[in-house]
Structure 1
Amino acid sequence: MDLMELFFISLGAAVVVYYGVKLLLFSRMLFPKLWFPMSKSFFTSMGEWAVVTGASEGIGRAYAFGLAKHGMNVVMMSRTKEKLDQVAKEINDTTGQKVKVIVTDFTQENIFSEIEDQLKDLNIGVLVNNVGSLPSAIPCKFLDSPELDQTITKMINCNVKTMAKMCKIILPGMDNRRKGVIVNISSGVASIPFPLYTLYAASKVFVERFSQGLQAEYKDKGIIIQTVAPFGISTRMAGFQKTDMVTLSPEHFVKCSLQYLKAGDKTHGSVTHIILGWFLQIIPLKVLYAESVLNSLQDYVKKMQRKCNS
């Protein structure tokens, strides 16, 4: 056996081992209960209270309900008092857990000192940074966004600043107790530079990088900080699309995603969305960026929004 033949055999073996390990790691995501088990008391062991932003509907509402069912009291934060009060009553009636409502608009400035005052005496074990907004209901090019200056400010306040500020408020308590969970909601569209969702996708990239850096800093303190990046969820933001194998209900998605809390610093939250994320990474960007594909995307969202508003 000459040197060149030995080199190619070694290279082939290395490739097989590399992809074998990747396949094993991927296969773990298919069976989260087996690979990432959690005790029934896991959430309550983190602390007495969970805080959920954007909790009046959609994914935030589902997280609030899900954590209450796991035995946690819940602080729900959003800008619509009537919706918050209604959901708070439903959670209390269903689970018997305490619910505290904080009405606030995360697109605005100078709101966090009041929030900090209302949270300072609570033993907070879980924070879900869910609140987020789109520049416009219909995806469009950056310069076509309505009221662009205001849109930029509101988007950064809501999707970027709020997450960092809420971590700044709640993380010190977790650091002192050496335990806690922070879940930061990103989006599947942040997996690649995504035309027509440019500002939104970029804001969610910040969510991912901030979360991953924070997890590296505080992992040794026993704190779990994870990005959850879903694709299709049947919410108002997505035009309340009909649920199927790909488009999940908020309740189904949250139930699945909570099983992946110990699966690493980023997850797409469900088996189907994990597979979608893998496919998105291997599709050539030239295909995704084709004008016909982008036009089809706009037409599809317009159709969904018409259904939502009808």
Structure 2
Amino acid sequence: MDLRELFFISLGAAVVVYYGVKLLLFSRMLFPKMWFPVSKSFFTSMGEWAVVTGASEGIGRAYAFVLAEQGMNVVIMSRTKVTLDQVAKEIGDTTGQRVKVIVTDFIKENIFSEIEDELRDLNIGVLVNNVGLLPSFIPCKFLDCAELDQTITKVINCNVKTMAKMCKIILPGMEKRGKGVIVNISSGVASIPFPLYTLYAASKVFVERFSQGLQAEYKGIIIQAVAPFGVSTRMAAYQQTGGVTFSPEDFVKSALQYLRAGDKTHGSICHIVLGWLLQSIPLKILHAESMLHKLQDYVKKKLTQKASISASRATFENVL
């Protein structure tokens, strides 16, 4: 056997081993309860309180409910007091846990000293940074965004600054106790450079890199970015559930099974596969003008259909 044959045999063996290990690691995602178990007392062992931003609806509301069901008291934060009060009542009535409401608008400046005062004396074991802003439902080029200067400020304040500031407020207590959980909600669109949602997708890349950097710095605390694809929320125009689109409640229950799976997860096996597929397609194809036009047309069509269904229902109810 000459050196050339030995080289290619060694190279082939290395490739087989590499992809074998990758396949083994991926197979763990099929059985999260076995590979990444979380005990019933896990969350309450982190601390007495959980804090959830953007908790008035959607994924944030679902996290608040699940954490309360696990025995934690919850602080829910958003800008709509009426909705927050209703959610607080539902959580209290359903779980018997205490709920603290903080009304705040995360797109505004100079709000965090007041938030810090409200949270100062609480033993906070879990932080869920969920609040986020999508500039436009309909995909559009960066310069075509309405009120672009204000939009840039709002997206950075809500999607970037809020997460960093909330970590600054709550992480010191976790570091002192040597335990805690921080979940930062990213998005599947951050998997690749995503035209027509450029500003939003880029802000979610920050969420992921910030989370991964923090996890490397504070290894005693679980810090994880969660990057979902389809979840039926207002931000996603309440897409019909099924296939790859989850209800917020089902997605959160799934995502929490992957809490110990590393510093980033897509939160469900089908979303993990979607993320892999998206990253496997050449960007030349994804960024082609025809693909971008199809994306715009698809979203516009879905929104038109939804508006038509809503109008039909309203007419029917008025007739009744």
Mark yes or no: TM-score above 0.5: yes
Answer whether contact 1:240 1:304 (CA < 8 A) is retained: no
User: Counterpart of 2:264?
Assistant: 266
> Where does 1:163-202 land on structure 2 (aligned, <5 Å)?
163-202=163-202
The superposition leaves residues 272-293 of structure 1 with CA deviations (integer Å, 9 ceiling, x where unpaired) of 0000000001011111111121
1:179 is paired with a residue of what secondary structure? coil
The residue type equivalent to 2:44 in the other structure is T
1:245 is paired with a residue of what secondary structure? coil
The residue type equivalent to 1:61 in the other structure is R
TM-score normalised according to structure 2 size: 0.95
Residue 117 of structure 1: CA displacement? 0.3
Distance 1:165 1:305 in 2: 34
User: Counterpart of 1:303?
Assistant: 301
Distance 1:301 1:72 in 2: 38
User: Counterpart of 1:82?
Assistant: 82
Distance 1:68 1:308 in 2: 33
User: Counterpart of 1:218?
Assistant: 218
User: Counterpart of 1:94?
Assistant: 94
User: Counterpart of 2:145?
Assistant: 145
User: Counterpart of 1:243?
Assistant: 241
Distance 1:103 1:299 in 2: 37
Residue 295 of structure 1: CA displacement? 1.3
The superposition leaves residues 128-157 of structure 1 with CA deviations (integer Å, 9 ceiling, x where unpaired) of 000001111211000000000000000000
Distance 2:265 2:228 in 1: 8
Unaligned runs of 5+ in 1: none
Answer whether contact 1:49 1:126 (CA < 8 A) is retained: yes
Say whether residues 1:122 and 2:122 are aligned partners.
yes
User: Counterpart of 2:55?
Assistant: 55
Unaligned runs of 5+ in 2: 311-320
The superposition leaves residues 100-139 of structure 1 with CA deviations (integer Å, 9 ceiling, x where unpaired) of 0000000000000000000001000000000001111211
1:207 is paired with a residue of what secondary structure? helix
Distance 1:287 1:234 in 2: 27
Answer whether contact 1:160 1:203 (CA < 8 A) is retained: yes
User: Counterpart of 1:279?
Assistant: 277
Distance 1:238 1:80 in 2: 19
Residue 306 of structure 1: CA displacement? 3.1
Residue 245 of structure 1: CA displacement? 2.0
The superposition leaves residues 155-189 of structure 1 with CA deviations (integer Å, 9 ceiling, x where unpaired) of 00000000000000000000000000000000000
The superposition leaves residues 227-248 of structure 1 with CA deviations (integer Å, 9 ceiling, x where unpaired) of 0000010001101000012011
The residue type equivalent to 2:20 in the other structure is G
1:167 is paired with a residue of what secondary structure? helix
Distance 2:291 2:86 in 1: 41
Aligned identity (percent) is 83
Cα RMSD of the aligned pairs, angstroms, is 0.8
Answer whether contact 1:235 1:250 (CA < 8 A) is retained: yes
User: Counterpart of 2:251?
Assistant: 253
The residue type equivalent to 2:133 in the other structure is S
1:275 is paired with a residue of what secondary structure? helix
Answer whether contact 1:226 1:265 (CA < 8 A) is retained: yes
User: Counterpart of 2:292?
Assistant: 294
Distance 1:304 1:33 in 2: 36
User: Counterpart of 2:5?
Assistant: 5
User: Counterpart of 2:204?
Assistant: 204
Answer whether contact 1:239 1:307 (CA < 8 A) is retained: no
Q: Count matched residues.
A: 308
Distance 1:135 1:301 in 2: 14
1:135 is paired with a residue of what secondary structure? coil
Answer whether contact 1:52 1:75 (CA < 8 A) is retained: yes
Answer whether contact 1:54 1:132 (CA < 8 A) is retained: yes
Residue 307 of structure 1: CA displacement? 4.2
Distance 2:111 2:212 in 1: 26
